[in-house]
Amino acid sequence: MNAPQKNRMTPIKRIVTVGGKELTDVWRDRRTMLLTLLMATAAGPVFLALILNMAANQAERARELKLPVDGAGNAPALIAFLERQQVAIVPAPADYEARIRNGDLDVVLSIDAEFERDVAAGRPATVRLIYDRSRDRARAAIDSAESLLRAYNRQWGTQRLLLRGIAPQVASPLDAQGVDLATPQQSGALILFLVAYYGLFASLMGSVAVALDATAGERERGSLEPLLATPLSTSQLAVGKWLAIGAFDLLVVLLTLAGFYLTLNFAPLPAIGVPFLFGSAELVRFVAILLPLMMLLPAVLLYVGLRGRTLKEAQSNVSALVFVVSIVPVVQLFLQKKEPAWLLWVPVSSQYTLLTRALRGDAIAFADWLQSATLPVLLTIVALLAAARLLRREDAFAGR
């Protein structure tokens, strides 16, 4: 047996060797691979289609209001007004309160039996709108029924004033005008949130399976001990694994975003007047914004995975991390305040902020991006050093 020729081994070469092996390894794990990639490509578009359909339905409901009326005969003038406004009047069923409660009906108009008599006597006549405001789906119908009643009230009042020779302006000294500054892209806040959230989530979920396999999995299979007896240094090992996890993460993020891009630009989606931009410019911005996270999360997962004594322990540690990362944007959404400036320093939070900005069609200032990337980059280095240190511990390869 001839002694093989050994080459001088640079650290970079060793790192590339480790990374290459890890990628081959994960690529061969077909089931995990398919599941992750399928979820990345398909789930986004499916989600989006559902949300958009919901929004479209809501718009439809508002436009073609079908209003069940109880006691339509009590106020023929009001009914005529509503019909002129394209409202379809149907008789309300007897058990309409129960039906509203269980969601079968959105809103019912009930006209008081004393309506005509009150009007004749100069008293305000009573009409009731019955609804359950806690139902999101019903909100559009409720709003339009209310505004129709207000409009009728105003019209009637104006006619009475004119009849008495008073200019209608006398009765309305205040002219309140709302100026909506939202560009078409700025509406559709929920969809906006979901797309940003999903992009963020992809950069986390893309690396979990690979990271666990390369850390706790490697130890549990008993392949870490012989590996640590090779000339490979622990930092080379950590960086090599990190690069592999990161590369896979990038793939998952790109697939997820491509799914959104294709869905929003080419899929036959219902026309709901609240489109936002997700063209190629936004795609590139998304990748750029998520880049610091695609460095940080694999590094943190590497560390967390190595900390777990067993695969199971590592898994539960990772779920804790997943929870923290996924709750941040939700908290931000519910705070509903203008973000304080320092938030751009906070990893995950800053990325979410920038993602929503990009979706609104705002340009991302390089300074802002740099600010959002600073801590992730620093923390990535810290996590990698900590992971290498864990591998150097004398109980690194044992299950402890």
**Which positions lie near another protein, rule CB under 8 A?**
1-9, 14, 17-18, 21, 24-25, 28-29, 221-226, 228-233, 394, 397
Min dist. Cβ of residue 211 to another protein (A): 16
Min dist. Cβ of residue 257 to another protein (A): 28
Q: What is the 3-state secondary structure (H, E, C) of 227-294?
A: HHCCCCCHHHHHHHHHHHHHHHHHHHHHHHHHHHHHHHHHCCCCCCCCCCCCCHHHHHHHHHHHHHHH
Q: Which is nearer to another protein, 224 or 297 (CB)?
A: 224
Q: Which is nearer to another protein, 26 or 359 (CB)?
A: 26
Q: Which is nearer to another protein, 27 or 323 (CB)?
A: 27
Min dist. Cβ of residue 32 to another protein (A): 10
Min dist. Cβ of residue 8 to another protein (A): 7
Min dist. Cβ of residue 317 to another protein (A): 22
Give me the phi and psi of 339, to 5 degrees please. Answer: -65, 135
Cα(317)–Cα(299) distance, integer angstroms: 14
Residue with tokens 């998304």: 286
Min dist. Cβ of residue 252 to another protein (A): 19
Phi-psi category of residue 86: left, alpha or beta, with phi > 0 → left and psi -120 to 50 → alpha: left
Q: Which is nearer to another protein, 279 or 399 (CB)?
A: 399
Q: Which is nearer to another protein, 20 or 279 (CB)?
A: 20
Residues found in the chain: 400
- Give Cα 4 distance to the centre of its chain: 56
Q: Which is nearer to another protein, 91 or 222 (CB)?
A: 222
Sign of CA dihedral 263, 268, 274, 279: positive
Phi-psi category of residue 111: left, alpha or beta, with phi > 0 → left and psi -120 to 50 → alpha: beta
Query: Which tokens in the block code for residue 293?
Result: 């996270």
Min dist. Cβ of residue 238 to another protein (A): 14
Smallest CA-to-CA distance from 113 within 76, 84, 73 is with 73
Q: Which is nearer to another protein, 21 or 360 (CB)?
A: 21
Contacts 24+ apart (CB under 8 A), 339-348: 344/368, 344/371, 344/372, 345/371, 345/372, 345/374, 345/375, 346/375, 347/292, 347/293, 347/296, 347/372, 347/375, 347/376, 347/379, 348/200, 348/293
Min dist. Cβ of residue 1 to another protein (A): 6
Min dist. Cβ of residue 387 to another protein (A): 18
> To which H or E segment does residue 103 belong?
none
Q: Which is nearer to another protein, 128 or 312 (CB)?
A: 312
Q: How many CB atoms are closer than 10 A to CB 27?
A: 11
Q: Which is nearer to another protein, 300 or 387 (CB)?
A: 387
